[in-house]
C-alpha cells in the first residue's frame, strides 16, 4: 500500500443534491425483479453452464417467481442464440414471463437478436452502450455527441427491427443502459437517456426501462442513491419510465446501494441468486428480497425452499454459497458463543405462536425458508454437517469443499447415533481420518512419478489391487488426468473426476498439502476422497485412491 498521503487514488465526487428526499423514506413495497443469472452471471463462471443446466436454472427462476429473466446475448454466439430459440420453440416460457436479451448498438447484432426472439410472447430488448468519460476516451475515442448518436441510432434500429415481432403478437418492451452510469456525468447520462426515450416514445402502458448500472462500484451507497434520485427527478417522461438498478459489489456494498437506490425512487432491480457475477459479483437478489420480507414486505419471490434453491445453484454454477452468506449459508442460524446460545434458548422459549418473530440473534424464522430448527435446538459445533466442517477447519485445519460436508456430516451423525452422545472434536477428527485418510484396501498405491512432455504429462505408477500388482503408464493434460487414464487399464470400475480442491495444512517447513477429489462411478455414485502429502501432486493421487477405496467398499 502507498504510505500517507495517498496520491494514487481519489475520493469519488459527491452529487450536488441539497434537497435529497431519500434519507427520510422507508421501503413499503417490493420492486420489479429481473434475474440476470443466465447472462451476466453465466458469463462470469469459469465453466459456463451447459444448455441442460441453463434449462434447469431457467425453470428454477420461474418457480421462484421471476417475471423478467435475462436469458442471454443471442447475437454473441450460436450457443446463446440456440438457447433462446429452444426456450421459445419448446414453449418453456410461461405467458406471464418476459425473456430479456442483451445487445450492443450495432444493426447486424440487433437483427440477429430479433431472429432469436421470433415467436416469443413477451420480450425485453436490452440495448446498451458505454457512456463514461474514460470509456469515451480510452475505448472509443469518441465525443459526447458521437456516443449519444450511437445510442440514438441503436434505438432506431431496435424500433425498426422489432416492429415485425410486435405485428406478429409479441409484446415488446425496450430497455436501455448507459453502461458505467455511475461513472458518467449525470447531465450527460440524462441527455442520452432523454434522447433514447424520445426515439422510443414509451407509453404509460408500455414504459421504457432505463437501467442505470453501477458497472463497477466506486462510491459509497449514499452517493449511488443521490445519483438515482437526481435522475428520477430530472427525467421529463418519468410517468412512462421504469428506473432499474444493476449494482455490482466491488466495495462490498452492492446490497446497501440497491436498497438506498430503491428509497431514491428506483422501480426495478437486476441481480443474481447469491450474487454470482464478474469480479466480486452482482447484487444478491436473495438477500435483498429476504431483507424486505423481514420488514413485513413480501418480495413477490418464493424462497421457502432455500436449501433446494441453493443445491440447484451450486450444481449448475459449480460455485458454493459461503457458510456465512445471509439467510442461505450453512451456519447463519447456528451460534457457537455460549452467551448467544443462552439468549437464543431463553427467547425461543418465550416465543408465542402467532406473535411477531422475536428470537434473539435469529432475525428470520428458519422455517419460513425451509431451514431446520436443528441448528437452533442443538446449538454447538457438532450439530449437523456445517458444524462438523467447522470443527475440522477450526480445530484441525481441513477446509473441506462444500459438497463434501454432506458426506462427512452423515458419517459423523451415524457415529453420534451409535454412541448415543455428543462427540468430541477428537472423535470427529478420528472419524474423518479413518474414513478418508487411513484406508489401505483394496487399492494400495505403490510408486508414482510424472514426466512433462511438451503440453502433456506422462505418469508411471503401480498399484496393488486385491494382492495383484499393476504397473501403469499413461499420458494426460496433468498428473490427475494421466493417473485416471492409467487406471483405465486395470479391473477397477470406470469413473470420472467431478471436482478437485487443495490447500496447505500447517505452516512453514512442516506444512503438508491436503487434496480433496470428488469422483463419479459408472453406476452414478459420487463421493469424495482425501489425501495428504508433503508433495501436492502426490496428495491428489492419494485422494483418488481414497475415493476409489471408498467406492469399492460401498
Q: In CATH, which of 3.30.160.270, 3.50.50.60, 3.30.9.10, 3.90.1200.10 is domain 443-553?
A: 3.30.160.270
Q: Give me the pLDDT at residue 301, please.
A: 98
Q: How far is CA 536 from the centre of its chain?
A: 29
Is 212 in contact with 186 (CB distance < 8 Å)? no
Is 71 in contact with 87 (CB distance < 8 Å)? yes
Q: Give me the pLDDT at residue 376, please.
A: 53
Q: Give me the pLDDT at residue 165, please.
A: 98
Q: Give me the pLDDT at residue 409, please.
A: 83
Residues 6+ apart with CB under 8 A from 453: 475
Query: Is residue 360 exposed (0-12), middle (13-18) or buried (19+ Cβ within 10 Å)?
Result: middle
Phi-psi region of 514 (alpha: psi -120 to 50; beta: other; left: phi over 0): beta
pLDDT in tens, the chain (554 residues): 999 999 999 999 999 999 999 999 999 999 999 999 999 999 999 889 999 999 999 999 999 999 999 999 999 999 999 999 999 999 999 999 999 999 999 999 999 999 999 999 999 999 999 999 999 999 999 999 999 999 999 999 999 999 999 999 999 999 999 999 999 999 999 999 999 999 999 999 999 999 999 999 999 999 999 999 999 999 999 999 999 999 999 999 999 999 999 999 999 999 999 999 999 999 999 999 999 999 999 999 999 999 999 999 999 999 999 989 999 998 888 776 656 766 777 787 788 988 999 999 899 999 999 987 655 534 343 444 556 776 788 788 999 998 898 899 888 878 877 887 767 778 889 999 999 999 888 999 999 999 998 889 999 999 999 889 999 999 999 999 999 999 999 999 999 999 999 999 988 777 899 999 999 998 888 999 999 999 999 999 999 999 999 999 87
- Domains in the chain: boundaries: 31-301, 443-553
Fold of 31-301: TIM Barrel (3.20.20)
Q: How many of the other CB atoms lie within 10 Å of CB of 55?
A: 18
Cell numbers representing residue 548 in the block:
476409489
Q: List helix spans (H) across 243-357.
A: 254-263, 285-293, 306-317, 338-350
Q: How many residues does the chain have?
A: 554
Equal CATH topology for 31-301 and 443-553:
no
Amino acid at each position: 500500500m502507498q504510505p500517507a498521503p495517498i496520491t494514487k487514488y481519489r475520493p469519488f465526487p459527491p452529487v450536488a443534491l441539497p434537497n435529497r428526499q431519500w434519507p427520510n423514506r422507508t421501503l413499503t413495497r417490493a420492486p420489479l425483479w429481473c434475474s440476470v443469472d443466465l447472462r451476466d452471471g453465466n458469463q462470469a463462471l469459469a465453466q459456463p453452464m451447459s444448455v441442460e443446466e441453463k434449462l434447469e436454472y431457467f425453470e428454477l427462476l420461474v418457480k421462484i417467481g421471476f417475471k423478467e429473466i435475462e436469458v442471454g446475448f443471442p447475437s454473441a454466439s450460436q450457443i446463446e442464440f440456440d438457447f433462446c430459440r429452444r426456450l421459445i420453440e419448446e414453449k418453456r416460457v410461461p405467458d406471464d414471463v418476459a425473456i430479456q436479451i442483451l445487445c450492443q448498438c450495432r444493426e447486424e447484432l440487433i437483427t440477429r437478436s430479433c431472429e432469436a426472439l421470433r415467436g416469443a410472447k413477451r420480450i425485453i430488448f436490452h440495448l446498451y452502450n458505454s457512456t463514461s468519460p474514460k470509456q469515451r476516451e480510452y475505448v472509443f475515442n469518441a465525443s459526447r455527441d458521437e456516443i449519444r448518436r450511437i445510442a440514438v441510432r441503436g434505438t432506431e434500429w431496435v424500433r425498426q427491427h422489432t416492429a415485425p415481432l410486435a405485428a406478429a403478437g409479441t409484446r415488446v418492451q425496450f430497455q436501455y443502459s448507459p453502461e458505467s452510469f455511475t461513472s458518467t456525468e449525470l447531465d450527460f447520462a440524462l441527455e442520452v437517456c432523454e434522447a433514447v426515450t424520445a426515439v422510443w416514445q414509451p407509453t404509460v402502458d408500455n414504459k421504457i426501462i432505463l437501467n442505470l448500472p453501477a458497472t463497477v462500484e466506486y462510491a459509497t451507497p449514499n452517493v449511488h442513491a443521490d445519483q438515482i434520485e437526481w435522475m428520477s427527478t430530472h427525467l421529463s417522461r418519468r410517468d412512462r419510465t421504469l428506473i432499474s438498478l444493476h449494482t455490482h459489489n466491488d466495495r462490498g456494498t452492492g446490497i446497501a446501494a440497491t436498497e438506498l437506490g430503491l428509497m431514491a425512487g428506483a422501480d426495478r432491480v437486476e441481480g443474481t441468486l447469491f450474487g454470482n457475477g464478474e469480479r466480486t459479483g452482482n447484487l444478491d437478489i436473495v438477500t435483498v428480497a429476504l431483507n424486505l420480507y423481514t420488514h413485513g414486505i413480501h418480495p413477490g419471490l418464493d424462497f421457502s425452499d432455500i436449501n433446494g434453491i441453493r443445491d440447484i445453484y451450486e450444481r449448475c454454477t459449480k460455485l458454493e454459497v459461503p457458510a456465512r452468506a445471509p439467510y442461505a449459508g450453512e451456519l447463519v442460524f447456528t451460534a457457537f458463543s455460549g452467551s448467544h446460545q443462552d439468549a437464543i434458548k431463553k427467547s425461543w422459549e418465550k416465543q408465542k405462536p402467532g406473535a411477531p418473530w422475536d428470537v434473539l440473534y435469529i432475525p428470520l424464522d428458519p422455517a419460513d425458508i425451509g431451514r431446520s430448527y436443528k441448528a437452533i435446538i442443538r446449538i454447538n459445533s457438532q450439530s449437523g454437517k456445517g458444524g462438523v466442517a467447522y470443527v475440522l477447519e477450526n480445530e484441525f485445519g481441513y477446509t473441506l469443499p462444500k459438497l463434501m460436508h454432506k458426506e462427512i456430516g452423515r458419517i459423523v451423525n451415524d457415529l453420534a447415533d451409535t454412541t448415543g452422545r455428543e462427540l468430541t472434536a477428537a472423535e470427529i477428527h478420528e472419524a474423518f481420518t479413518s474414513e478418508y485418510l487411513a484406508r489401505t484396501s483394496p487399492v494400495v498405491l505403490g510408486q508414482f512419478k510424472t514426466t512433462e512432455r511438451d503440453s502433456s504429462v506422462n505418469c508411471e505408477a503401480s498399484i496393488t489391487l486385491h494382492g495383484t500388482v499393476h504397473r501403469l503408464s499413461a499420458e494426460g493434460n496433468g498428473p490427475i488426468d494421466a493417473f485416471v487414464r492409467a487406471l483405465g487399464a486395470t479391473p477397477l470400475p470406470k469413473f470420472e473426476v467431478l471436482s478437485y480442491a487443495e490447500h496447505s495444512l500447517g505452516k512453514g517447513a512442516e506444512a503438508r498439502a491436503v487434496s480433496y477429489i470428488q469422483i463419479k462411478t459408472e453406476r452414478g455414485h459420487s463421493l469424495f476422497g482425501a489425501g495428504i502429502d508433503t508433495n501436492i501432486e502426490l496428495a491428489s493421487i492419494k485422494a483418488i485412491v481414497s475415493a476409489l477405496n471408498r467406492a469399492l467398499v460401498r
